A and B are shown apart, each in its own frame.
Chain A
């Protein structure tokens, strides 16, 4: 689904990403871990085609994204932002409809077909009843659900998220992650960055750990996500404990 090889990127003289290679298959849930300022956001911006001056290759469904137009890229992957600030309030349905823009002609507006798809996306996320509400009046958790519905209406198989749960409360975080996990069961590929190793442990199949712009570890979550890795990444003492409910990670005082 997505294959990144030898990705390097610099802002001026400062090299942010060094030889980053990883891949995600259809149905994978890939969690990107790493401390602040390690290049996670830069990685996402490269992969999404927003930053262009990188070296190496980024392939989605076998196609190099350098060869794709914005529209074609929008059909392959969608982006779910962290928090959605907007100057103007739109209804939930209109917000979700915006995801269908890439399939419309430059001079046309969404038709009945797109409206139907937007409603299906709302149903898939389970928020049909919010359709006529104003986006700005929703709670943070609901807003994030709308953003996911918008990504689904885009009909791209790859969902990319830069810390999608950072501004959510405890319950909504789990709700959003459970929904994303369910989506991977329907063939979507999810790549998300997170600050919480527990999220990676509970939900992801694969982990990509970045440190100082380089890959510290990449592989199956059960194999690579160890207390050693967390200690190296964040410089703290973390322990991972097996419980009847799966693995639990917590930091401990040294």
Chain B
């Protein structure tokens, strides 16, 4: 019985995700009954064109995006934790988020379109990680420490850049737009956003799932992993690249959403253990559930939408304090 426990947990998580996914379509200003939701999802048709528009053009992209972003950020967090053997690592540990924020702010300053902002954010996020990796490689110190230090430096460099852009931006329209973007939100998600971002996300998620057994060995010492036949350097790079793709694509469509990548992996470690064979699928599903839940609150709690980045911190920080102060916590 004990052996099947992780499988049962995964099954329950999947069922929760499926139920929540369906339920999320009912929520919103325009009432759509569950029967109609199911019909639209299955057939793609409805007698009421407004219901069809609400479900398939407005709610569908946003719900799918919430799942994808939650899944990606949590998976990236779990990956960075293993690679750096550090339970406190999160997706923005190497500065991917700062790069994305700078890119988005720059695009808003240059009056780019919605798609332009996403592209800029994605590109600068990858650029920041590439910089971090090159600096880390040029350093003579311990590679892992060098990469972490380089991440902090590059991150603060891009943050300074973002602050400068805020300073010179037009305070009438650009500055609020930048500020709002930085808070993180999924509002206004379009089908085209999903279509753009799903490919880099899959490119990050699938290799991580395939490599997940070996990622366990990265948490051992260098000597142990190498003598067990693992090319630690290559594997570490592969995992960093995947996690970077995930972080960059999530941040570029949703802005700064903190805490998910730290809290969800920790919760899953408690729930299902540290073995990445089970941890990674669990983290991906749980991340989607959490983000969908928070986004539902974000778009329905008040008449004015609350940026999701604020909510995740409001929920994430107290939760983390709870984990820390619990007696048998390992943190």
A interface list, Cβ under 8 A from B: 45, 48-50, 70-71, 73-75, 77-79, 81, 84-91, 94, 98-99, 101-102, 104, 106-110, 132, 154
Q: Is B191 an interface residue (CB 8 A)?
A: no
Say whether B47 faces chain A, with CB atoms less than 8 Å apart: no
Does B330 belong to the interface (CB within 8 Å)?
A: yes
In the assembly, what is the distance between CA of A102 and CA of B230, in Å?
7
Contact B273 A91 (CB under 8 A): yes
**Helix, strand, loop or mixed for chain A's interface?**
loop
What would 17 more interface pairs be, CB under 8 Å, given A45-B223, A81-B223?
A48-B226, A73-B227, A74-B228, A77-B227, A78-B227, A78-B228, A81-B224, A84-B224, A86-B85, A87-B86, A87-B219, A88-B274, A89-B330, A94-B216, A101-B230, A106-B211, A107-B210
Contact of B229 among A50, A87, A102 (CB under 8 A): A102
Q: Which residues of A contact B213 (CB under 8 A)?
A: 101, 104, 108-110
A184 CB, nearest partner CB in chain B, Å: 20
* Docked-complex contact A50 and B228, CB < 8 angstroms: no
- Residue in B217, B222, B224 whose Cβ sees the most chain A Cβ within 10 Å: B224
Complex CA gap A87/B85 in Å reads 6
The answer to whether A98 and B217 have CB atoms under 8 Å apart is yes
Shortest beta-carbon distance, B204 to chain A, in Å? 15
Docked Cα-Cα span, A86 to B218, in Å, equals 10
- CB-CB < 8 A to B275: which residues of A? 90-91, 94
Q: A87-B219, A89-B330, A109-B277 are in contact. Are A101 and B214 (CB under 8 A)?
A: yes
Which chain A residue has the least Cβ–Cβ distance from B211? A107
Shortest Cβ gap from B326 to chain A (Å):
16
A49 to B82, CA, bound (A): 24
Q: For residue A144, give the distance in angstroms from its CB to the closest CB of chain B.
A: 14
B-chain residues with CB within 8 Å of residue A70 when the two chains form the complex:
226, 229-231
Asked if residues B87 and A87 are in contact (CB atoms below 8 Å), the reply is yes
Cβ of B228 to closest chain A Cβ, rounded Å: 5
Q: B223, A101: Cβ atoms under 8 Å? A: no
Docked Cα-Cα span, A94 to B275, in Å, equals 7
Question: Judging by beta carbons under 8 Å apart, are A48 and B330 in contact?
Answer: no
Q: Which residues of chain A come closer than 8 Å to B226, judged between CB atoms?
A: 48-50, 70
The answer to whether A88 touches B227, judged by C-beta atoms less than 8 angstroms apart, is no
Q: Which residue of A lies closest to B89 (CB)?
A: A87
Residues of B within 8 A of A91 (CB): 273, 275
Q: B222: nearest residue on chain A (CB-CB)?
A: A50
- Nearest 6 Cβ contacts at the A-B interface: A102-B229, A74-B229, A79-B227, A109-B213, A107-B210, A88-B274
B275, closest chain A residue (CB): A94
Q: Which of B176-235 contact A (CB under 8 A)?
A: 210-214, 216-217, 219-224, 226-231
- Roughly how many angstroms separate A81 CA and B223 CA in the complex, as a whole number? 8
B216 touches A106 (CB 8 A): no
Please give, as numbers and ranges, the residues of chain A lying within 8 Å of B210 by CB-CB distance.
106-107
Residue contacts A-B, CB under 8 angstroms, 25 given: A48-B226, A48-B227, A50-B222, A50-B227, A74-B227, A74-B228, A81-B223, A84-B224, A85-B221, A87-B85, A88-B82, A88-B87, A88-B274, A90-B216, A94-B216, A94-B275, A98-B216, A98-B228, A101-B213, A101-B217, A102-B230, A106-B211, A107-B210, A108-B213, A154-B228
List, in ascending order, chain A residues with CB within 8 A of B2's CB.
132
CB of A102 within 8 A of CB of B228, answer yes
| B269 beta carbon closer than 8 Å to chain A | yes
A contact residues around B81 at 8 Å (CB): 87-88
Hey, which chain A residues are within 8 Å of B87, CB to CB?
Answer: 87-88
The residue of chain B having its C-beta at the shortest distance from the C-beta of A101 within the complex is B228
B214 surroundings in chain A (CB, below 8 A): 101, 106
For B310-325 the 0/1 string (1 means CB < 8 A from A) is: 0000000000000000
